[in-house]
Structure formats: C-alpha cells, structure tokens
C-alpha cells in the first residue's frame, strides 16, 4: 500500500488538476487538505473543460471517496453550487462519495466582507487576495473564534458563536472600514439552511481515512496553490493563508505522517504568478506574452492574467526541500514549443553582487535579485502526441534532463498538452 501527496512547486497554477485527475484513476480516495475556494483546478476530459474550486479533482472518477479535510476552509454556498454544477453536467458519478470533515472551518459572510474591505483600504500595498474570505477564516481558526461545519448541527452553539463573532466583526466593518454591518438573523437563517443541504456529506473524515488505510486502500492527497505560497516558507506576505507544503497533508486530513509514502511535486516548464509579490524571472516581453497566450494563463478562480517568466529552479529546490518531494511531474512543456532559446534560472545575484542558490528570506532583497540563467536551444516540433521520452525532440529531452539534474529530483511524468492522453508517464507513484 502506497499513499501519494501532490503539491505545487511554484506559486500555484502548475497544472495540478490534470495530474491529480490522472493519478485519481489509481487511487481509492482523493483527499483535499488545505486552502479553500481561492484555488481552482482546471481539468480537460474528452475536450470538455471543468474547473473545481473546492471539491477534490477525483470527483470525476467513479467508485472513489473524495474528502474535503479539516484543513480546508469551506464556503457552503460554493460547495453546494459545485455539487449542483457537477450533477447538472453528469460529472458526479453515482458510486463516488463526497465527504466533508465536520472539523473543517466555515467561511462566513463577514470573512468575505473583511477580506474585500482590507484589500481596498490597503490599495497601495495589495496582497492580491481573491476576496473569498480565506484569510479571515483562517485567522478566526487560529484565534479560536471559528465556526466549524459540525457546529451547524447544534443550533444553540452555532447561534452563540455567531453572535460573539458579529459583535467584533460589525465593530470592525462599521468603525474601521466604514462598511454596513451584517445582520445576525439573516446569516443564521442562511447557514442553518445550508446545514440541511450538506448534511449527507458531513462526516468524521479522519476516522474514515484511518479505517480505509488499515484496509490497504490507496490515498491521493491533493494540495492547492503552490509551495512558494506557503504561509511559512513562501514569499511572505505575498502568500496564501495556509501551509501548502506536503507535511500539512497529515495535519489537514487527520492522518499520521507515516501514511504518506511519496510526494509528487508539480512543476510547470516555465513559471507563472498571479497577483503581487517578487518574481525574479518575470518576462515583460514577447516571450512572456507567448507563454501567457499559448498557455492560456488566466487564474481559474479569479480570471486574472498570470505573470509569466522562465523556470526558476531556485524556487523548485526550496519546494523539494520543504515538502520532501520524491518525484517531479512536469506540465505545459508544449507551451515552450516554437521558442528559439529557453532558459532556466539557476541562482540569483543580489544588488550587492552576491550569488545565492537559495530564496532570500527578505522580500525586499528578493525583489532586487537578478536571475542567473543557463540557456538551451528550443524546438519547433509539435510534441502533443509524444508517448515516451524518445518521442520528444532532442532539445526538449536535454531541457528536461538538465531540469532533473538541477532540481535533484527524478521526473516521472511530462504533460505535453491539456488533455488526459497528452501525457508521458515514466513511473507510477503508487508503486515503490
């Protein structure tokens, strides 16, 4: 029995959705362990595009158990809408179960209001939040003021927690942000209504995962965002509000770390970033525009245009170290087709002239760093039909070989197009 965690190695948007979808075929359970509906996974199956924000990507497969773990913050309105859309499109298989941890924290209307109000007030120093209330929900969780999914089924407790929360939140909304206060009865009515609709999915998912592991079932742990958006090891403060590293798969799903055997890091063949924050290899030229257009680089959740640049191996190495990555899956290699020259950033040169192969802690320092590159010849051939490494142009093979050498991690999958079948599989991560 081998269990696998999938994490992003960059700033998110690495194409995790497709890879999770592929690996979900081999897994019995797919568990999402952090983040919320601020993340989006785009899947293309039989030419049809599906975007999921909260529900694990494995939901498209029959005879699976899909888990939204305790480490996820859940907006019940978004959850119900996703379920509705999947059912409407006949994409929710009849024998697949969706389970939501009773310990997962709820995103409340005041979380969204505070998220938007704060970003508007700090217009000159925006973090780049999606405005979905993710950060404020995690704040309340850590401050022990959060409302959890299971609280919805004790109306007295739910109303008590809501009352105390609104005393503070309305004070902030009115007094600090000059926004309208929220009505307690309206929120209570709305969320107690959600309670009945999501009740069939709510469970003690930690106990269920433990039971399934003891039966020898295979679990795929699905991460959101990317390692360099981790609240501890990312480019703070331009990060998400949760830990995106693989270690949180244990905490965020309620199983021990010894249950995770392999960690697959998803690495896009170039680098993208949504929102604010330093980006040493960013390209504001025709090549960056090529990546953006050919790669259709728009945020799956926000629709925002992604910033594009050369692959930064410094970021990937940090991700490998922090998450204990055992294998790499390379995505969107096809986007580089047609470029005369391709580069990989192998280190940074500071404004003081010092060379470093590590991501600086200080974001002011990072923003002043200049990338140092290795350059490679590109290729013109269409690679979308490649099924093995030997089918790729020689220059594409050289690029991947050097990426592997620089990262210190073996490549086990290469995506050469958006469809499931446009993939080169070198090794199954569920086999040791």
Domains of the chain: 4-100+202-263 (3.40.440.10), 105-197 (1.10.300.10), 267-425 (3.90.170.10)
The pLDDT of residue 352 is: 86
In whole angstroms, give the CA distance from residue 331 to residue 395: 17
Q: What is the pLDDT of residue 197?
A: 98
Q: Is 13 one of the annotated active-site residues of the chain?
A: yes
The residues near 400 (Cβ < 8 Å, ≥ 6 apart) are 330, 333, 389, 392, 411, 414
pLDDT at residue 419, rounded to an integer: 87
Tell me what pLDDT residue 38 has: 82
- For the chain, 432 residues long, the average pLDDT of each consecutive 10-residue run is 95 92 95 89 71 89 97 97 92 94 98 91 65 94 97 98 97 93 97 98 98 97 95 94 96 96 98 94 97 88 86 98 98 98 97 90 93 98 97 98 98 95 96 84
Phi-psi bin for 35: left (phi > 0), alpha (psi -120 to 50), beta? Answer: left
> Angle at CA 51, nearest 5°, toward 10 and 305?
55
* Interatomic CA distance for residues 124 and 352, integer angstroms: 27
Give the pLDDT score at 123. Answer: 59
Whole-number pLDDT of residue 302: 67
Q: Partners of 6 in the beta sheet?
A: 222, 264
* Catalytic option among 41, 53, 111, 290: 41
pLDDT score, position 108:
98
Q: 145 φ, ψ to 5°?
A: -120, 10
User: Cβ–Cβ contacts within 10 Å for residue 41, how many?
Assistant: 25
Give residue 432's pLDDT.
77
pLDDT at 124: 56
Parallel, antiparallel or unpaired: strands 65-68 and 41-45: unpaired
Contact 226, 10 (CB under 8 A): yes
* H-state helical runs in 172-264: 184-198, 205-214, 248-251
> 366: which residues sit within 8 A by CB, 6+ positions away?
235, 278, 280, 348, 359, 360
Which whole-number Å values give the CA distances from 66 to 157, 215, 335, in the listed order?
28, 17, 31
Does residue 360 contact residue 420 with C-beta atoms inside 8 Å?
no
């Amino acid at each position: 029995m081998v269990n696998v965690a999938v994490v992003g190695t960059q700033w998110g948007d690495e194409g995790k959705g497709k890879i999770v979808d592929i690996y979900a075929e081999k897994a019995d359970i797919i568990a999402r362990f952090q983040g919320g509906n601020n993340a989006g996974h785009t899947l293309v199956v039989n030419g049809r595009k599906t975007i999921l924000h909260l529900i694990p990507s494995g939901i498209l497969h029959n005879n699976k158990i899909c888990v939204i773990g305790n480490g996820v913050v859940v907006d019940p309105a978004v959850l119900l809408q996703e379920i509705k859309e999947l059912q409407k499109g006949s994409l929710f298989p009849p024998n697949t179960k969706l389970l939501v941890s009773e310990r997962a924290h709820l995103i409340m209307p005041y979380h969204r209001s505070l998220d938007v109000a704060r970003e508007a007030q700090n217009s000159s120093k925006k973090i780049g939040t999606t405005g979905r209330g993710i950060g404020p929900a995690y704040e309340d969780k850590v401050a022990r003021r959060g409302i959890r999914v299971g609280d919805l089924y004790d109306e007295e407790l739910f109303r008590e927690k809501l009352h105390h929360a609104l005393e503070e939140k309305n004070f902030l909304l009115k007094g600090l942000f000059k926004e309208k206060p929220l009505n307690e009865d309206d929120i209570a009515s709305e969320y107690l209504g959600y309670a009945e609709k999501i009740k069939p999915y709510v469970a003690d998912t930690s106990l269920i995962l433990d039971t399934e592991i003891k039966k020898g079932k295979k679990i795929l742990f699905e991460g959101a965002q990317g390692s360099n958006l981790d609240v501890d090891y990312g480019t703070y403060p331009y990060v998400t509000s949760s830990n995106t590293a693989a270690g949180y798969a244990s905490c965020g799903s309620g199983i021990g770390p010894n249950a995770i055997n392999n960690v697959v890091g998803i690495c896009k063949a170039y680098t993208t970033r949504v929102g604010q924050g330093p980006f040493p290899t960013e390209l504001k030229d025709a090549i960056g525009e090529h990546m953006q257009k050919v790669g259709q680089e728009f945020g799956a959740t926000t629709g925002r245009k992604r910033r594009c640049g050369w692959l930064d191996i410094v970021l990937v190495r940090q991700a490998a170290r922090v998450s204990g990555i055992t294998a790499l899956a390379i995505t969107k290699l096809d986007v580089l087709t047609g470029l005369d020259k391709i580069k990989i950033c192998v280190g940074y040169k500071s404004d003081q002239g010092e060379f470093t192969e590590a991501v600086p802690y200080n974001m002011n320092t990072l923003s002043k760093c200049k990338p140092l590159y290795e350059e490679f010849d590109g290729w013109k051939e269409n690679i979308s039909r490649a099924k093995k490494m030997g089918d790729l142009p020689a220059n594409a093979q050289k690029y991947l070989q050097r990426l592997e050498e620089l990262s210190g991690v073996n490549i086990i999958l290469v995506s050469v197009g958006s469809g499931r079948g446009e993939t080169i599989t070198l090794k199954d991560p569920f086999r040791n």
